[in-house]
Structure 1
Amino acid sequence: MGLAVIVLAAGMGRRMNSRIPKVLHPIFKRPMLAYVMDTVKKLLPERTVVVVGYGAEAIKGAMGFSEGIEYVFQPEQLGTGNAVLCAKEVLRDFSGEIVILSGDSPLIDAKTIGGLVDAHRKAGACVSVITAVVEEPYGYGRILRGSSGKIVGIVEERDATLEEKNIKEINSGVYCVDSEFLWEALEQIGSDNKQGEYYLPDIVKVASGLGKLVLGVVAEDACEVLGINNRLELARAERIIRNRVNRELMLSGVTLIDPEVTYISPEVIIEADTVVYPNTFIYGRTRIGSGCKIGPFAWIEDSFLGNGVTIGFSCYIVQARIEDEVTIGPFAHIRPQTEIMSGAKIGNFVEIKKSTIGRKSKVPHLSYIGDACVGSEVNIGAGTITCNYDGFDKHKTTIDDHAFIGSDTMLVAPIKVGKGATTGAGSTITKDVPPGALAIGRARQVIIEGWKRRPRGKKEKD
């Protein structure tokens, strides 16, 4: 039998109090829908359909048109049952099981859904649903079981009686349904409820009424079924993901001094014997080698760090490549398209943008290096600036191996400092410096003996 997946992503999410579609609200800088789609991919379905409505174009733009994903539009917010029905046309020729899940459930695991599909097939069920038992079921649909213990229905919170609200087994919103039955059942459900909507869970009542088997599979981890409807639940979901990530990292040999205040996204790879200090944020496609020391208060995003790298207090690093045994910080800003070669040192209050810093070169303090290629074993004195922008275009600075750039040097690009060359402190260099030469570009010092400053006092009247 084949497998198709329908992801419901049409809701506005009024309780988020936002113009942004609910499924695009980020967890670790990725839309929550992206986590759901990652899970769906692991199921290896034949067909994947995403139902969009409010903010449809924004969702498509954020998620892209990945191969195998089909979008269908729900023109009116008429409930989850109506949303699934919108996918009927594109899945008309599909025969098999259809997994249905919500785009606002980023914590659900592919293994849990896979277990649902396996149990559904093994039992020969018509409808199967993942459930969970929780202490605080408020806001979730309740699972109704008959005297035999079989599931006979699902009632939404707003439609539940007081007795039904005391039920602690909740609906996850994740279903596995035989395709032929699904389309027939959706035609039979009505909107006679307080919301005036067509509820997808009502297919359970239809199946039970026809004497068909409805199977409930209880999730081992109730956190997986958390749906996100407001910012509090969004923060809770991120905290759960953060705890999962941090636990796996620590078990793999990474030291997190205080995991409660360490923020590492799921895509990040960190090798053993690296130490991450508190209040550090590591996001995106970042890879960090072994034996590194990171933070505290560091921000690293979409970057590569080799082995033995030290990132000091309050450093900000984005889309950079940092090789082995590099020391950076404190208070350094490493901007995109920067590459820092092995053994280099970037000190405090240094900003580097779109530049290469060669092996064992040093930029120790208070400098801006932009659009530059710096060779190996170069020393950049404090206060050095590459003046790369003329008001219209950016220009390149090249500093060859073993050059020595004196403190407070202004290098006006385009310019090249040759191998082993030196610039005098306080110089403004506007012409290329030959290899081995000394360049000085500053006014001569003048000393006036016996000079007296004007006494401080009232300014003379005009």
Structure 2
Amino acid sequence: MTAYRRPLDVVILAAGQGTRMNSALPKVLHPVAGRPMVTWAVKAAQALGARNVVVVTGHGAEQVEAALATQHVMFARQEQRLGTGHAFLCGIDALSAALPAGGQEDADVLVLYGDTPLLRSTTLEAMLEDHRARGSALTLLTGELPDATGYGRIIRDAQGEVERIVEQKDATPEQERVGEFNSGVYLMDSRAGELAHRIGNDNAAGEYYLTDLLGLYRAEGEAAHAFKLTDPDEVMGANDRAGLADLEMILRRRINARHMRAGVTLQDPERISIEDSVVLGRDVTLEPGVILRGQTVLGEDVTVGAYSVVTDSVLEAGVVVKAHSVLEGAHVGAGSDVGPFARLRPGTVLGEGVHIGNFVETKNARLDTGVKAGHLAYLGDVQIGAETNVGAGTIVANYDGVNKHHTRIGAGVFIGSNSTIIAPRTVGDAAFIAAGSAVHDDVPEGAMAVARGKQRNIEGWSRRYWGGLRDNVQKKLPWLAGWLERQD
């Protein structure tokens, strides 16, 4: 964050409907790289050290305001959509009402948009520094494209200063060949609010256009300056789902490049998706198809295998997540390994050196140091002590059809394959559970629990049973019919 001599206020225009999105969700709430589009603008404004950020809402205002409720911003409602100038006026009036008398006189005002998530805060910081170094009253953020079709063109006077903005529909053939375009991002001095009240709507659409501020500043005898983007993609917006996918791709590449520069190995960057909120340590390795979401933190030397999805989870140093695993709301201790094809659900906490194998599912489970659950297990609402071995097919039956129940399993326990522990249970340290047991009572420390029916073999049963069904067996199970014939 950079401190400036004058305060900065930011108005973010986010009232549009975005009909081409064909969605019940307001346009600015469509997510890009893990954040709703409008929050990227808020993030950029706050990175500048803005004194106040006002978001102008309109379509889906309640949804937008709810999504930004924790972002420390103010809101202004544009009840009627009467153009960008009117939206800005709603924002500037809300800002003025929230400030003490005269509080805005020495502030610069920046206008941003809720559907342009690619605009970097470093670009805006450089624009602000240029604006103040020049002593400008109005600075426009512009870009240059070989073909600027669709954008308003920047027309300069003989001295090279910005003279006017010509919209695409009004441009002459000569003006259409101009490559410099208006991004719509403006940085103005404290007269912005006063001049905004002078914007008229004497046009075919009857709307108030923010671009008219240029003429109003020039009428005051002020020159308008342009700060040109080095990367015109920064002001790219999204009007439909295809445009949204383009933004996602660009942001994903930026994020991935940042992590690679910081010492992360991405084996196939084009097929790895990392949301902006994710934190990665040095020497992390991500295999193809990995998706990292939310408040995920990976420590140093973590490896995440192909096509795994990790959401809101912490993986400490040296963790290995093998292919096709899904982790959500989990904390995995250093040196542990998970998968392949494992699922860690919310509330899972693994100590150091824990082994979770293929097709093991955990939920609200705490596994202490060195616990091993290698195959085909469900561990829900359970605490398991250090160095316990969980056999293949083990189920902690935590739900009785109405309530969930908790089970505590001690340290050094051996649980045989295909055991079911019917919660709520306590299994003491160093206990054994025989394979195939259905444990419905507590197991004392050091005891062995055997909870299964005694086996008995009924000689000749198959011959008597299937022999009575010989005709059906002959048709449907010829291999069994052959066996029966051999018994005869």
TM-score category of the 2 structures, normalised to the smaller one? over 0.9
Map 1:89-238 → 2, pairs under 5 A: 89-92=93-96, 93=102, 94-95=104-105, 96-193=107-204, 195-238=205-248
Residue 116 of structure 1 aligns to a residue whose secondary structure is helix
1:140: Cα distance to partner? 2.4
Greater fraction helix: 2
Per-residue CA distance 1:165-207 (angstroms, 9 max, x = gap): 33221222211112224432442332515x4422111211332
1:63 matched to which residue of 2? 68
1:15 Cα deviation after fit: 1.9
Correspondence 1:303-314 to 2 at 5 A: 303-314=313-324
1:135, CA displacement in angstroms? Answer: 3.0
**CA contact under 8 A between 1:309 and 1:327: conserved in structure 2?**
yes
SS in 1 for 2:362: strand
Aligned match of 2:54: 49
In the alignment, residue 118 of structure 1 is paired with which amino acid? E
1:454 aligns with 2:466: yes
Within 5 Å, which residues of 2 pair with 1:216-295?
216-295=226-305
- What corresponds to 1:418 in structure 2? 428
Q: How far apart, in 1, do the equivalents of 2:386 and 2:359 lie?
A: 21
Which 4+ runs in 1 deviate beyond 6 A?
none
For residue 26 of structure 2, the aligned residue among 21, 24, 34 is: 21
Residue 370 (structure 1) shift:
0.5
For the residue of structure 2 that corresponds to 1:243, the secondary structure is helix
Of all paired residues, the percent bearing the same amino acid is 38
TM-score scaled to structure 1, two decimals?
0.95
Distance 2:271 2:57 in 1: 35
Amino acid at match of 1:52: T
Mapped to 2, the partners of 1:407 and 1:188 lie a distance apart of: 78
Q: Does 1:382 align with 2:392?
A: yes
**Hey, what's the Cα distance between the residues in 1 that align with 2:439 and 2:147?**
69
Letter of the 2:245 counterpart: A
The 8 Å contact of residues 129 and 174 in structure 1, kept in 2 or not, is answered as: yes
Deviations 1:208-228 (A, max 9, x none): 344311010001222211122
CA contact 2:147–2:177 (8 Å) conserved in 1: no
After superposition, give the CA deviation of every residue in 1:118-161 in whole Å (9 maximum; x if it has no partner): 22222222211111112342332222222332111223334434
Q: What displacement does 1:88 show?
A: 3.3
2:90 alignment partner, one of 81, 86, 93: 86
Do the aligned residues in 1 keep the contact of 2:93 with 2:193 (CA within 8 Å)?
no
Partner of 1:77 in structure 2?
A: 81
Task: Give the secondary structure class of the aligned counterpart of 1:86.
Answer: helix
What is the one-letter code of the residue matched to 1:244? R
What SS does the corresponding residue of 1:229 show, helix, strand or coil? Answer: coil
Give the match's secondary structure for 2:243: helix
Pairwise CA distance, 1:269: 1.6
CA 1:252 to 1:448, structure 2 compared with 1: closer, same or farther past 3 Å?
same
Contact 1:182–1:203, Cα closer than 8 Å, also in 2:
no
Tell me if structure 2 keeps the 8 A contact 1:172–1:225.
yes
Q: Confirm or deny: 8 A CA contact 2:110 2:185 kept in the other structure.
A: yes
2-structure distance, mates of 1:373, 1:90? 53
Q: Which amino acid aligns with 1:2?
A: P
| 2:263 partner amino acid | G
- Matches of 1:158 and 1:302 in 2, distance apart? 47
Q: Given the superposition, is the C-alpha separation of residues 181 and 256 from structure 1 closer, same or farther in structure 2, using an over 3 Å criterion?
A: closer
Could you tell me how far 1:441 is from its partner in structure 2?
Answer: 1.1
- Whole-Å Cα distance in 1 between the matches of residues 202 and 64 of structure 2? 27
Structure 1 match to 2:367: 357
The secondary structure found in structure 2 opposite 1:179 is coil
Q: Which residue of 2 aligns with 1:370?
A: 380
* Cα distance in 1, alignment partners of residues 151 and 370 from structure 2: 59
CA distance in 2, matches of 1:411, 1:198: 70
Establish whether residue 440 from structure 1 lines up as the match of residue 450 from structure 2: yes
2:4 matches 1:2: no
Query: What's the CA shift string for 1:11-35, capped at 9, x where partnerless?
Result: 1112212121111000123211111
| RMSD after superposition | 1.6
Question: What is the CA–CA distance in structure 2 between the aligned matches of 1:62 and 1:188, rounded to whole Å?
Answer: 31
Whole-Å Cα distance in 1 between the matches of residues 180 and 24 of structure 2?
A: 33
Task: Write the deviation string for residues 23-55 of structure 1: whole angstroms up to 9, x where unpaired.
Answer: 100012321111111111111122211111111
Q: Quick one: distance in 2 between partners of 1:75 and 1:329?
A: 53
Judge conservation of contact 2:296–2:313 (CA < 8 Å) in 1: yes
Q: SS of the residue aligned with 2:92?
A: coil
* Contact kept in structure 2, 1:130 and 1:172, CA below 8 Å: yes
Q: Is the Cα–Cα contact under 8 Å of residues 81 and 186 in structure 1 kept in the other structure?
A: no
Report the counterpart of residue 419 of structure 2 in structure 1. 409
Q: Give the greater-gyration-radius structure (CA).
A: 2
Residue in 1 aligned with 2:353? Answer: 343
Q: Determine the C-alpha separation between the residues in 1 that align with 2:422 and 2:181.
A: 67
Distance 1:160 1:197, change over 3 A: farther
What is the deviation of 1:287? 1.1
User: Out of 327, 332, 339, which is 2:342 matched to?
Assistant: 332
Q: What whole-Å deviation, never above 9, does each CA across 1:224-267 have from its counterpart, x for those lacking one?
A: 11122222221111111111111121122111111011111122
2: CA distance between counterparts of 1:419 and 1:374?
A: 10
Letter in 2 for 1:59: V
Q: Following TM superposition, by how much is the alpha carbon of 1:65 offset from its aligned partner in structure 2, in angstroms?
A: 4.6
Q: Which amino acid aligns with 1:363?
A: A
Range with bigger deviation, 228-237 or 359-368: 228-237
Find the counterpart in structure 2 of residue 40 from structure 1. 45
Contact 1:422 1:437 in 2 (8 A): yes
The 10-residue stretch of structure 1 (176-185 or 323-332) with the greater mean CA deviation from structure 2: 176-185
